[in-house]
Amino acid sequence: MTAKSRSRRKSGPGVRRKLEPPRKVGIIGKPHHPRIKEVVAHLLKRLDELGVEVVVDRSTATGRAVKTRRSSNLTGSGAQMLIVLGGDGTLLSVARLVHAEEIPLFGVNLGSLGFLTETALEDLDAALDMIWKGKCLVDERIMLEATVKRGKKRAGPYLVVNDAVFNKGALGRMFEMETAVDGADLTTYRADGLIVATPTGSTAYSMAAGGPIIYPDMEAIVITPICPHTLSNRSLVVPDRVTVEVRIRSSEQGIHLTLDGQTGLGITSRDLVVIRKAASRTMLVRTPNRNFFGILRQKLKWGER
């Protein structure tokens, strides 16, 4: 039995497991960030001191020593944890990149908001100590997959950690979207757009559009209309076992399906978009001194005057 199959048998959404100190670690980050070279060099030194084998992604490797000695693609590298250097956007793209391997991701925030990235740069050394002392956990988060059906043709599935968003683009005009859940008609939204999000994505675009904050361990999907014409059209939370289907009813041009705010494709009234829970999960390393409610207080400035 492989490590991955053991993980699938023992784990699932809402389950946290102890992170075993990894023997092999991958490093990946924003290649053009002004501090990336400095941070990678520091990590290599610290991980060498811990006796850990390190592989640095080719797009991140800087400096001749790194490129010649440790540079590689991280997919299929055998790394037992990935250190992701950047903001939440970097973490989202890496999660999709390595989704099939379900490698725990340890995010180091080089950006601004940092809902998903676990530690700030100034706390990196303390967090590394906790990892190799066996004090950290792995949070498992559901992902969604979106498939676009046009007649007999299929595009996808496209994986998302946060959300799949239907929008009109620059003009921001309303359009109509027939929506069904497990084959049962839900409603036809007339709105600026529609967000189908995971619990992880509930604190992203969905929250900005008035959707609820969902605890990340919940087994749920949230459907949030963007500026709906009918004010009674509110966010709807459904179990993550259901399938959500969306068909564009308007003849409007320029409608897009955007995935995690990073990639997208044009869709028309001929397309049926099917969204369901993906088989893969995102695995996030969590230190014991950080929890979801603390993140909300810090990032959303709750309790401040």
Would you list the domain boundaries of the chain?
Answer: 3-136+287-299, 143-279
Query: HSE-up of 238 (CA within 13 Å, CB side)?
Result: 20
Q: If you search the block for the tokens 């949230």, which residue do you land on?
A: 222
The DSSP 8-state label assigned to residue 162 in this structure reads S
For the 3-136+287-299 domain, the top CATH level (class) is alpha beta
68: pLDDT strictly greater than 60: no
5: pLDDT strictly greater than 80: no
Q: How far apart are CA 302 and CA 198, in angstroms?
A: 23
Q: Determine the angle formed by the axes of helices 124-132 and 36-49, rounding to 10 degrees.
A: 30
Q: Tell me which residue of 249, 235, 239, 81 sits closest to 179, measured CA to CA.
A: 249
Q: Is residue 26 exposed (0-12), middle (13-18) or buried (19+ Cβ within 10 Å)?
A: buried
Q: pTM for the full model?
A: 0.87
Q: What confidence tier does 170 reach under pLDDT thresholds 50, 70, 90? A: low
Which of 21-35, 50-64, 266-280, 282-296 is the least confident region? 50-64
With beta carbons less than 8 A apart as the criterion, state whether 189 and 225 touch: yes
Q: Does the domain at residues 143-279 carry the CATH identifier 2.60.200.30?
A: yes
Q: How far apart are CA 22 and CA 81, in angstroms?
A: 6
Q: What confidence tier does 171 reach under pLDDT thresholds 50, 70, 90? A: low
pLDDT of residue 141: 93
Q: Which two tokens stand for residue 301?
A: 């400035």
Query: 148 in helix, strand or coil?
Result: strand
Q: Which of 57, 88, 139, 192 is catalytic?
A: 88
How far apart, in Å, are the Cα atoms of 4 and each of 50, 101, 116, 144, 286? 25, 7, 23, 19, 20
With beta carbons less than 8 A apart as the criterion, state whether 205 and 163 touch: yes
More confident residue, 239 or 252: 239
Q: Which two tokens stand for residue 62?
A: 């800087």
Task: Based on the residue annotation, tell me whether 260 is a catalytic residue of this protein.
Answer: no
Distinct helix (H) and strand (E) counts, the chain? 7, 19
